[in-house]
Amino acid sequence: MITLKAPAKINLYLEVLNKRADGYHNLCSLFQMLGFYDNLSMREASEELHLTIEGMPEGTSLSADSSNLVLRAATLLREEMQMRGLPLRGAHIHLIKKIPIAAGMGGGSSDAAATLIGLNRLWSLDWPREKLAELGCRIGSDLPFFFYGPTAWVSGRGEIVETTPSIIEGVVLLVHPNFAVSTEEVFGAYAKVHERKVKNRKIELTREPPPLNIHPDIKRRPEINEILLHPRNDLEKVTLDAHPELEALKDLLKSLEGESVLMSGSGPTIFSFFKDPQAANAAAEHIKKEGYHVTVASILRQSPFEEFL
């Protein structure tokens, strides 16, 4: 049996550069893995793929069918094996879900990456991380990061990952409201707002100045101190406009001395840094009384996947 911990991530910085011809957006984002995990265990079966799930928060659900990213990853891996003439293998996969769904923390992507990594070991394929990351990119834009973390600049639509040292100290307080957000809908709303701005300037999107932060011609990325002093997430306004209560939540975190308060990804999770874990725990207890799901997580210095790659 193979057992893996699939970590959550946050976006320390997220700039949307432009819309691509394929419908995705070019991004410049700094990703960070956290010590907050889903858990997956896998054991070999004859020829079938079977997924069981436990630990879902009350009021949420996650299908254990072909729509689940875990089974999509396992199926994709098997299809690649068949293309190479390798024998069909099966697996029973058990997922213990702790990371909230559709929360901007990459839980589903991390689970899918863990599946590719775990089955690669279970089935003795020994494929390199580059190959697994390429397969992962076919499933979701966040996946490639999880093969290279714990800290990395991510660009393109997510397929270009450049690791960087993490120098952030302390812990992260994660606050998740009791609702989910669709990443696709948030990007769609962002694109509409951006297109209106372009039309108002009476210029075409394709005639905008080229993005400054896209790999490989990176002219400037903010320093970590600048990121912490001036947090940026271009998707935040879209989600906060749809859910004004998140603005009040950000104000609450600031009043409790949380630093660099920001929404992660497309949201709705809001996070802040605390240098003192005791202060973070005290703030967490205060926020729990407001009815939110709260987690205090460490900032990972090494990916839990590294021993399997």
Three-class DSSP category at 121? helix
Chain mean position to CA 234: 15
Residue-by-residue DSSP string for 56-118: PPTT-----STTSHHHHHHHHHHHHHHHTTPPP-EEEEEEE--SPTTSSS-HHHHHHHHHHHH
Residue 205 has pLDDT above 50, yes or no: no
Contacts of 117 by beta carbon, 8 Å cutoff, 6+ apart: 4, 132, 147, 305, 308, 309
DSSP 258: -
Q: pLDDT band for 79, please (50, 70, 90 cuts).
A: very high
**Angle of the 129-137 helix axis to the 107-122 helix axis, nearest 10:** 140
Q: pLDDT band for 139, please (50, 70, 90 cuts).
A: very high
Per-position b or e across 37-50, b if 16+ CB within 10 A of its CB:
bbbbebeeeeeebe
Q: How much is the mean pLDDT over the chain?
A: 89
Return the pLDDT at 206: 42
Contact between 93 and 70 under an 8 Å Cβ cutoff? The reply is yes
Q: Using CA of residue 132, residue 265, residue 285, residue 61, what is the dihedral sign?
A: negative
Contact between 233 and 263 under an 8 Å Cβ cutoff? The reply is yes
- pLDDT tens digit sequence for 18-76: 888 887 888 999 999 999 999 999 999 988 999 999 987 666 678 888 899 999 999 99
User: Which domains does the chain possess?
Assistant: 2-165 (3.30.230.10), 171-298 (3.30.70.890)
Q: pLDDT band for 220, please (50, 70, 90 cuts).
A: low
Average pLDDT of the segment spanning 103-115 = 97
Greater pLDDT, 56 or 255: 255
Q: Which residues are part of the catalytic machinery?
A: 9, 142
Three-class DSSP category at 176? strand
Which residue from 272, 228, 270 is spatially nearest to 248, judged by alpha carbons? 270
Average pLDDT of the segment spanning 238-250 = 94
Measured distance CA(74)–CA(113) in Å, rounded: 10
Residue 257 falls in which region: left (phi positive, over 0), alpha (psi -120 to 50) or beta: left
Range in 48-57, 105-114, 206-215, 268-277 the model is least confident about: 206-215
Contact between 286 and 256 under an 8 Å Cβ cutoff? The reply is yes
Residue 211 has pLDDT above 60, yes or no: no
Q: pLDDT band for 214, please (50, 70, 90 cuts).
A: very low
**pTM, full prediction:** 0.90
Per-position b or e across 241-275, b if 16+ CB within 10 A of its CB:
eebeebeebbebbeebebbbbbbbbbbbbbbbbbe
Return the pLDDT at 242: 93
Return the pLDDT at 199: 52
Contact between 94 and 133 under an 8 Å Cβ cutoff? The reply is no
